[in-house]
Structure 1
């Protein structure tokens, strides 16, 4: 369970760092670019990928993931700044419904009543968590970000599952290739802002990006180690990770950043936990 706990802490820390970026005038785009450089270096240290296979990876899928990751990271950052850690983390964790729906409609998986109940409760939770009675037009528009986080992480999860299906290529090598494409994409976006918008590349953004990359990578590393250590109980890892991030993220957001959460939002958080638990139980019963 220590790996799960460490992965939860790293995941929430990433959200906290993105939340603090605006306060300390950190350029998120630059930090995201250096974040992927850190991920690439750490992949060499911990995964020791087979470099000969990188050149023969399924390029369309790798490129698509490589493009989506930095773009979604920027959207995630905007969501954390606009509506806070609590609601962004929940949107991210509830994105699990998209790969579940993909399993139903794309892969023909049979759904139990428990899983269907979990999906229904989950969609109600999304609405209640993001609900706000009186919101200006600007505030209403800001809720586009968690919706994009929800859709984006769900799609990325499906794509990563597709990448993992290819047993002829080591998954660690594929992950390194994805990080490499993401770094190049972020570098191109940054070059555009530097050349045309005259933004300066600052050392502080490099330092923050490396720190961000370390926590982002460790989140993945500890999550993988948790699955290896508890290979007979994947549903336990899945449930503990998702519920742990929602709980810790909510506590940090409410106590540390004084994020406003209404009674209806609290009901949404409780329903989100219930939905994840129902889906996890349905998976456990299916084994």
Structure 2
């Protein structure tokens, strides 16, 4: 995993003492895509009950999702949004396919105990990368949170809502999917809360922290800051996360004029990927905190 424009994600009163119980080119890329897609299918099949694969045709992109709608009369829906996947294969070379080799958000969705769960991959993931409709490497690098990318996720969710009828949504965003969740929560009227895991919450602060190129083609969460100040939320951070350092979550909560110790839950031995999936049955019992 490269940090450079790859995103996925202080001390807290809620600090848990949980001791923690690259894409290739040419023909190799097709093999990697098939392997990663097969692993995603296996993760979805391992859920209890399993998650079914589906596909959404938004105006700008085709999106892959996995879902379980086990309680049709329950108005609640847990929506998991994937991280950025494989954005770069070296510090200066973009991937031709952002499909993640480890879809952490899907692993979380598979372990989530709610009856109704929807997982959404990001644009161009699991659909062929640059071979997919309207896909360009900008959409997993500088434009990963472009207006049309945010709109595509929102359109897919609207399609799901029209088909199955959920009325109350809680977003769960991993890594870069956290910022996507914040943007969506800031514009929808059916959101009960947002939970982030190793989450990128403010990409301008992130790039400034590391001295990286700004994500100049992307929207940022500060556009919807007034809405976020009133929204129930919880942010899980790993104290060993060097991809999205936990100090950035603290700074973000202060930008919202919310007390970090109320909304941030820090795990002392967690990093950016380890070991969120194995801990999720426990962590998922901690709901968003109301401001």
Question: TM-score if structure 2 supplies the norm length?
Answer: 0.30
Question: Higher helix share goes to which structure?
Answer: 1
Question: Higher strand share goes to which structure?
Answer: 2
Task: Give the structure, 1 or 2, with the largest relative contact order (CA under 8 Å, sep 6 or more).
Answer: 1
Question: TM-score if structure 1 supplies the norm length?
Answer: 0.30
